[in-house]
Chains A and B, each alone.
Chain A
């Protein structure tokens, strides 16, 4: 059992949790994630470790409600427990002093990119952050990102805060202004990561993206998380989660993340309807 020691709502349907997991807190590095299972009936889902506190023995995660498990998790509060937490999984981000690094975060990706920005700044990089949200209310972790950056650019799709537009236009401006950029790290919705990779491709700027396929074990045992990178099959949980954005087959990733659309609908309906319904009793067998 893993205890939730703190919960904070960051935006509509986005919450931050601190979870007691001392062994993971001690080991984890930027870019790594956990897999959790809420209870005996639960699914295993991956979430990035955003921060950790070695003294308190806690790790921090930021969760967006998108489906059954993330919603159930967000209903939990301080003092509640999570049955299983395993990590730190995945390869840590390769951190060195590149010079100037641009960290792009979109939506929940802002939380995922934060530990990387912190580590890059710690290694002496100049960190330019660009974070995007649909509107001001959905912007998360602004203070934390500000602190982890040399300079922060905020964009909102509706212009309610910061720059009106997408993260890519700010990035393009930076490049066109002649800023020397040594590396770009983009984390967010797949279309955003793809767009960022397209912006940097003509300039040959190294661009890392962090992929979020569906996972089961998170240890390289099942292949659920496979993606095509540079024409080769890669398991995101052990070979990633970060890959060269210019090589990733984003289209395939988008499609594969829709594998269980029908089942997800059933799961959500089941949550509101009655318990104990078995699939074969729903006339699914015809």
Chain B
């Protein structure tokens, strides 16, 4: 029982705890790590984890829980770590979060759980994400991963379209509820962005595979190489006996800038660049067959997490320079501060308040330079951020042989095209009820990036959880 664990804390002890410094996390040295694709943070040792767990004052009304989109019982799992019960801590996490090893690494904690942690008011907040990563890694590395029991079979079968975090969450929750689940994934492996987008040095692929294997052991049937809409449409799946369908097909359509020279050799979308390197392992070419152009001078356009991932990937492929061209100032960079900091350490050259206007190629159609203009910040726009304005006559050229365009993704139109009775907004995102994931089509649910546009792993998982609950209800009462 919770009450037994969370005892009231002596005020003196509480004060002492609030003064303890945050445990630093060891990392690979920047000079070394740009030569490899191994994970950058080394993770806490058990001693460090316990010391960090001691910083939590075990709030009775923990603000951190409200800051977590899936409402993990944070003080409880931290308490278990403090007591050295690491495997129990991991299991506690898994009650609410199917992928703690992933979220502990990639969640923007500083904007979520850690932002509101009470210790953070005067000191640095408790390192909730690092503790989450620690517990999940400990369980996996010590071979203690348990396969959760599934409820008695309900005899009902459901389909999940897309094996990203949203789809995997629905799959896990629904098998636990006793339904038979098939995940249809377009690529040759499930995981979505976790597999093809986020680089190995931030999220080792074996961690994602381990989570997928665990789901398979629980009974989830994975059908890879299955593009829904091309192989079977949603209607055909329903006709085939799937009583409900969850669509978690993500926001996988790369935007380009529509400026001259964008189709020169060496200009990539971030999706293509990252897919080649992560999913297809082009960083190990020619051991792996898929090539990628290893630029001497690389320019990344954009300022989000994806841009930072692309830039840090490029830094690991033996370039002379990697520059990030972003049209606003450093303050507005949408990427996580931690990633920006890592990128700086690794030698990324930030060209802020700059914007590309055209790419220049040689006679073989290969990229040789990008022409940029300088920008200044004007009046705030609709989003409240100051609008970047071009400074006339400020053109200059930047030598480059690889450019990676990372200005966002839209919704893949394949499913809405083949299921016109699923309503979408003007950007092509599926309209799903925020509380239930229900779409305009009976029996069909949706969540994650296909509904939200590019968001986060944990929000996609939160959507999956809500959709699974609502789907379970629907399977029982048939009400829409």
A→B interface (CB under 8 Å) = 23-24, 27, 37, 41-44, 68-69, 83-89, 216-217, 219-224, 226-228, 233, 238, 252, 255-256, 258-260, 263-264, 266-267, 270, 275-280, 284-285
Contact = CB atoms under 8 A, between A and B. Distances in A.
A91 to B, nearest CB: 10
Given A27-B230, A220-B414, A260-B291, A252 B263 contact: yes
B280 A44 contact: yes
Interface of B: 35, 186-188, 196, 224-227, 230-232, 252-254, 256, 258, 262-263, 265-266, 268-269, 271-272, 275-276, 280-281, 283-294, 318, 364-365, 412-414
Contact of A88 (B230, B265, B294, B364): B230
Contacts of A43: 280, 288-290
Contact of B227 (A68, A89, A258, A285): A89
B188 A267 contact: no
A220 B253 contact: yes
Nearest to B266: A259
A13 B256 CA distance: 38
A256 B288 contact: no
Q: Is the interface of A mostly helix, strand, loop or mixed?
A: mixed
Contacts of B226: 23, 86
A27 B228 CA distance: 12
A209 to B, nearest CB: 18
Contacts, number: 137
A83 B224 CA distance: 11
Nearest to A252: B263
Given A219-B412, A221-B271, 19 more contacts: A23-B231, A43-B288, A68-B289, A86-B227, A216-B272, A217-B187, A220-B253, A220-B414, A221-B196, A221-B253, A222-B272, A228-B263, A256-B265, A260-B291, A270-B286, A278-B284, A279-B284, A284-B318, A285-B318
Contacts of A83: 188
A278 B254 contact: no
Contacts of B364: 255, 258
Contacts of B286: 263, 266-267, 270, 277, 279
B368 to A, nearest CB: 13
A73 B292 CA distance: 22
Contact of A221 (B231, B287, B412): B412
Given A84-B224, A280-B35, A267 B275 contact: no
B293 A260 contact: yes
Given A216-B272, A223-B271, A263 B284 contact: no
Nearest to A260: B291
Contact of A42 (B265, B289, B413): B289
A42 B276 CA distance: 12
A136 B254 CA distance: 45
A10 B231 CA distance: 29
Given A43-B280, A216-B280, A222-B271, A263 B253 contact: no
A223 B231 contact: no
Most buried by B among A24, A221, A267: A221
Contacts of B252: 219-221
B253 A216 contact: no
Contacts of B186: 86, 217, 219
Contacts of A216: 272, 275-276, 280, 290
A86 to B, nearest CB: 4
A89 B226 CA distance: 10
A44 to B, nearest CB: 7
Contacts of B272: 216, 222-224
A220 B289 contact: no
Contacts of B271: 221-223
A124 B231 CA distance: 27
B365 A220 contact: no
